[in-house]
């Protein structure tokens, strides 16, 4: 759907060798109705036929000459669009008809809400019938472990109510642009230092600190082929595993509160000791992630000062975030 006026949504899809799934992903977006939207694909120098497939669809494309990472690519699209709402959509996800309309209705009805997650159903290929939930947004635990809400639950929805959550999973996350602009740090919305993995969690956390709530919208349904999950960690590239480990600590450095870290230190230490033992015994190629964290401490500390000085909510409100 193409419009000369400013659309309701910018649908942003970052691709990298995504030829196997991008056709179904794009078609599911183009089949949306009831809202105005603009589709923009940011390709991170794919070596397969992704660009050819996207170009054949006639959608807008930004073709990068190198792999700039997930965060930087989404920032490119954000600077190129002006819609009221933004959907970041993974190329291995597929929307049910009415996804955007359901999100639009929910966010219009809740103006204090900065973001929303739908119900993503897990599939191994986009054509199969899903039986389990992939995610219904994100949660944050006292160990500072982030995870997928309702993961592995039955695909039959247990509730039709809109409820508060920590934030949306970046595979199909809807953001209010006013919220994204409000949480900019050093000119960026998504933190390009993260490159790939957990940048969506970072956005959720910063938004909560600024007083923006997030909701789960069960009527917005999609499918997702989950590429990165704990049970398949060894199938991921070494660089992705290293990024995931490093970014856990960057998140804490930027966003956490000292009093909360001290209170939750037993939970954090137990979890981190488990991670360290796993890395030492089974994943030594991820050890440089700890050096990456040390190298990035000064930069993260500068970002932290800006984030914490702009915090709007009190300690009790922040504490409740870890209970959602």
- How does pLDDT run along the chain (324 residues), one tens digit per residue? 444 577 999 999 999 999 999 999 999 999 999 999 999 999 999 999 999 999 999 999 999 999 999 999 999 999 999 999 999 999 999 999 999 999 999 999 999 999 999 999 999 887 788 889 999 999 999 999 999 999 888 887 656 799 999 999 999 999 999 999 999 999 999 999 999 999 999 999 999 999 999 999 999 999 999 876 555 666 678 889 999 999 999 999 999 999 999 999 999 999 999 999 999 999 999 999 999 999 999 999 999 999 999 999 988 888 887 766
* Per-residue exposure over 217-250, b if at least 16 CB sit within 10 Å of its own CB, e if not: bbbbbbbbbbeeeeeeeeebeeebbbbbbbbbbb
Q: Encoding tokens for residue 161?
A: 């109510």
Give the residue among 173, 160, 150, 174 at the shortest CA–CA distance from 218.
160
DSSP 65: S
Helices 238-255 & 265-282 angle (0-180, nearest 10): 160
Question: Residue 85 belongs to what H/E stretch?
Answer: strand 85-89
Architecture of 9-230 per CATH? Alpha-Beta Complex (3.90)
Strand 172-176 vs strand 85-89: parallel, antiparallel, or unpaired?
A: antiparallel
Helices (H), the chain: 22-30, 50-57, 70-80, 99-109, 177-182, 199-209, 238-255, 258-263, 265-282, 288-309, 315-321
Radius of gyration of the chain (CA): 19
d(CA 183, CA 175) in angstroms, rounded, equals 12
Residue whose structure tokens are 């450095």: 253
Tell me if 13 sits within 8 A of 90, measured CB to CB. yes
pTM of the model: 0.93
Question: Residue 40 belongs to what H/E stretch?
Answer: strand 37-43
Residues in CB range of 88: below 8 A, 6 or more apart? 12, 14, 74, 170, 172, 173, 175, 200
Give the residue among 110, 162, 113 at the shortest CA–CA distance from 136.
162
The residue ranges of every structural domain in the chain are 9-230, 231-317
Give the residue among 44, 89, 310 at the shortest CA–CA distance from 220.
89
């Amino acid at each position: 759907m193409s419009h000369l006026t400013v659309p309701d949504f910018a649908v942003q899809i970052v691709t990298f060798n995504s030829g196997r799934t991008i056709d179904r992903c794009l078609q599911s977006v183009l089949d949306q109705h009831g809202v105005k939207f603009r589709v923009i694909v940011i390709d991170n120098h794919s070596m397969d036929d992704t660009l050819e497939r996207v170009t054949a669809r006639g959608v807008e494309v930004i073709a990068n000459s190198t792999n700039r990472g997930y965060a930087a690519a989404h920032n490119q699209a954000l600077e190129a669009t002006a819609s009221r709402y933004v959907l970041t959509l993974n190329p291995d996800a597929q929307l049910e008809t009415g996804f955007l309309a359901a999100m639009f209705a929910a966010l219009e009805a809740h103006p204090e809400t900065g973001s929303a997650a739908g119900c993503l159903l897990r599939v191994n290929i986009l054509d199969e019938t899903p039986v389990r939930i992939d995610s219904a947004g994100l949660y944050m635990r006292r160990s500072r472990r982030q995870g997928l809400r309702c993961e592995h639950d039955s695909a039959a929805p247990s509730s039709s109510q809109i409820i508060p959550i920590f934030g949306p999973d970046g595979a199909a996350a809807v953001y209010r642009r006013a919220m994204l602009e409000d949480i900019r740090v050093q000119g960026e919305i998504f933190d390009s230092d993260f490159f790939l993995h957990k940048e969506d969690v970072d956005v959720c956390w910063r938004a909560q600190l600024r007083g923006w709530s997030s909701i789960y919208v069960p009527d917005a349904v999609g499918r997702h082929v989950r590429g990165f999950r704990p049970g398949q960690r060894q199938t991921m590239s070494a660089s992705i595993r290293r990024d995931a480990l490093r970014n856990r600590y960057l998140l804490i450095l930027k966003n956490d509160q000292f009093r909360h870290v001290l209170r939750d230190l037993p939970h954090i230490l137990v979890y981190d000791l488990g991670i360290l033992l796993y890395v030492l015994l089974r994943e030594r190629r991820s050890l440089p992630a700890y050096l990456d964290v040390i190298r990035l401490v000064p930069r993260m500390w500068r970002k932290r000062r800006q984030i914490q000085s702009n915090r709007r909510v009190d300690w009790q409100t922040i504490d409740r975030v870890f209970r959602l």
